Amino acid sequence: MALKPAQKALGPIRRSFAPWLDPSAVPLIRFENVVKRFGDFTAVDDVSLDIHEREFFALLGPSGCGKTTLMRMLAGFEAPTSGRITLAGKDLAGVPPYRRPVNMMFQSYALFPHMTVAQNIAFGLKQDGMPKPEMEARVTEMLRLVKLEPFASRKPHQLSGGQRQRVALARSLAKKPKVLLLDEPLGALDKKLREETQFELMDLQQDLGLTFLIVTHDQEEAMTVADRIAVMNHGKLVQVATPGEIYEQPNCRYVADFIGDINLFEGTVTSAQGGLVRLKSPEAGAEFVTASEAALQPGAEVALAVRPEKMRVSLEPPPAEATNPLRGEVWDIAYLGDWTVLLIKVEGTEKIVRVSRANVTRSEARPIGWDDKVFLWFAPDAGVLLKS
């Protein structure tokens, strides 16, 4: 498994696990030109996607982008209008959901209200006619896995939301499916529990060695848990990449804007040579220089995208070697504890720039306040050029 020489590490690379970079690797799940229409509405529009074994893969997008439909087609609840879905080389067309080696954890959990926790977990095993002693052992194992042993004989309505979520997880894992599908699994949990559970899910996936496919609209969740993320919009895949690449190297404005916060400077290329592109941005009243290998002609319309945390801000003028300097006035401040977000109006323009600073100390001698005149700058490799 050789990394392509041009591949630069963007963000943390998890456990150097990257079968998608290996051209000889055979993917576990393949979506081939999958289209799904409901009447006139195209929910999934010509999606081709490979998911590898043991991958934690996230489908990310706003509601109605087709991510859930894509997952439901894999589970067998919807049939593709055209295209093919294969699992371990086998075409899934016409295979009913109850014969597919995938299990799903439903957004609503869909626990059977008339069964106890143990009966819920045993349900799938019972369908396979697993012998009783083996089944009981598996149920106990699953209960231990999700730390619900004392609740085996409770009914779902006697559990808290977090406990129900665990039962749903245990039930979907009990059959040891090839692929576990998670449909917005943590949507109903509060923030703290959600974050805890995200890490637990990652550990679980790692320990069990299963392939997880998660559908979520929460970009933080996707970035936390996933090896790779597919960003979807209007039924199409917009970008499929690692969380680091998605964040640091968005391939279009939609992804740049959807994931995290970003400053976009619209402008015109004035020169492009030696890996450096210079552009003039009338809306910020400035000229910028940025590192880019893109073959651009002078006069091309582009946008320079810079993440708020990659902009530097100071009350003092920047050092002489600083690139891309701007001056502005503090328009708004949001103190978030770990970060402070500053909205700064660029001098002589209407452009508002978003800058975030890590609060590395508990107090500052002279903190930046409202209406302060400040200096901004960023490095040539801080931004990404996007086509207009």
Partner 1 sequence: MTDVLTPDPEAPRAVAAAGPQAAAEPLGAGGWKRWLLIGIPYLWLLALFLAPFAIVLKISLSQTTIAQPPYEPVLDLAAGWQGLVDFVSGLHLENYSILFEDEIYVASYLSSLKIAAISTLLALLIAYPMAYGMARAPRSIRPTLLMAVILPFWTSLLIRVYAWIGILNPDGLLNAFLMWTGAISEPLYIMNTETAVYIGIVYSYLPFMVLPLYSSLEKLDETLLEAAADLGSPPWRAFWQITVPLSLPGVVAGCFLVFIPAVGEFVIPDLLGGSETLMIGKTLYNEFFLNRDWPVSSAIAVLLLLVLVVPIAIYNNVQAKELGGKA
Query: How would you classify the pairing of strands 29-38 and 326-335?
Result: unpaired
User: Greatest CA separation found in the chain?
Assistant: 77
Do residues 169 and 146 lie in contact, with contact meaning Cβ atoms separated by under 8 Å? Answer: yes
Per-position x/- string for 104-133, each x denoting binding to partner 1 as judged by CB under 8 A, each - no binding: x-x-x-xxxxx--------xx--xx-----
**Rule CB under 8 A: which of 163-182 touch partner 1?**
171-172, 175
Do residues 309 and 358 lie in contact, with contact meaning Cβ atoms separated by under 8 Å? Answer: yes
- What is the nearest approach in angstroms of partner 1 to the Cβ of residue 305? 40
- What is the nearest approach in angstroms of partner 1 to the Cβ of residue 99? 8
Is 198 one of the binding residues for partner 1 (CB under 8 A)? no
Question: What contacts 112, CB < 8 A, 6 or more positions away?
Answer: 119, 120, 123, 156
Query: How would you classify the pairing of strands 56-60 and 211-216?
Result: parallel
- What is the nearest approach in angstroms of partner 1 to the Cβ of residue 182? 12
Is 316 one of the binding residues for partner 1 (CB under 8 A)? no
Which of 4, 15, 157, 191 binds partner 1 (CB under 8 A)? It is 157
- Helix (H, G, I), strand (E, B), or coil: what is residue 157? helix
Is 4 one of the binding residues for partner 1 (CB under 8 A)? no
- Between CA 123 and CA 130 the distance in angstroms is 10
Helix then strand count (H, E) for the chain reads 8, 20
- 183/227 with CB nearer partner 1: 183
Site residue total, partner 1 (CB under 8 A) = 25
- 145/272 with CB nearer partner 1: 145
- 128/321 with CB nearer partner 1: 128
Is 103 one of the binding residues for partner 1 (CB under 8 A)? yes
Which of 77, 199, 335, 370 binds partner 1 (CB under 8 A)? It is 77
- 175/228 with CB nearer partner 1: 175
- 67/228 with CB nearer partner 1: 67
- The H or E element containing residue 163 is helix 161-173
- What is the nearest approach in angstroms of partner 1 to the Cβ of residue 104? 5
Which of 44, 75, 186, 376 binds partner 1 (CB under 8 A)? It is 75
Q: Which amino acid is at 88?
A: A
- The H or E element containing residue 204 is helix 191-208
Closest CA to 230 of 20, 13, 383: 20
Is 185 one of the binding residues for partner 1 (CB under 8 A)? no
Is 39 one of the binding residues for partner 1 (CB under 8 A)? no
Q: Which residue has the tokens 């409202």?
A: 370
Question: What contacts 299, CB < 8 A, 6 or more positions away?
Answer: 268, 269
- What is the nearest approach in angstroms of partner 1 to the Cβ of residue 72? 9
- What is the nearest approach in angstroms of partner 1 to the Cβ of residue 253? 36
- Between CA 310 and CA 254 the distance in angstroms is 19
Is 96 one of the binding residues for partner 1 (CB under 8 A)? yes
- 109/247 with CB nearer partner 1: 109
Query: How would you classify the pairing of strands 301-306 and 373-377?
Result: unpaired
Taking the CA atoms of the chain, what radius of gyration do you get in angstroms?
A: 25
Question: Which residue ranges make up the site for partner 1 (CB under 8 A)?
Answer: 75-77, 96-99, 102-104, 106, 108, 110-114, 123-124, 127-128, 157, 171-172, 175
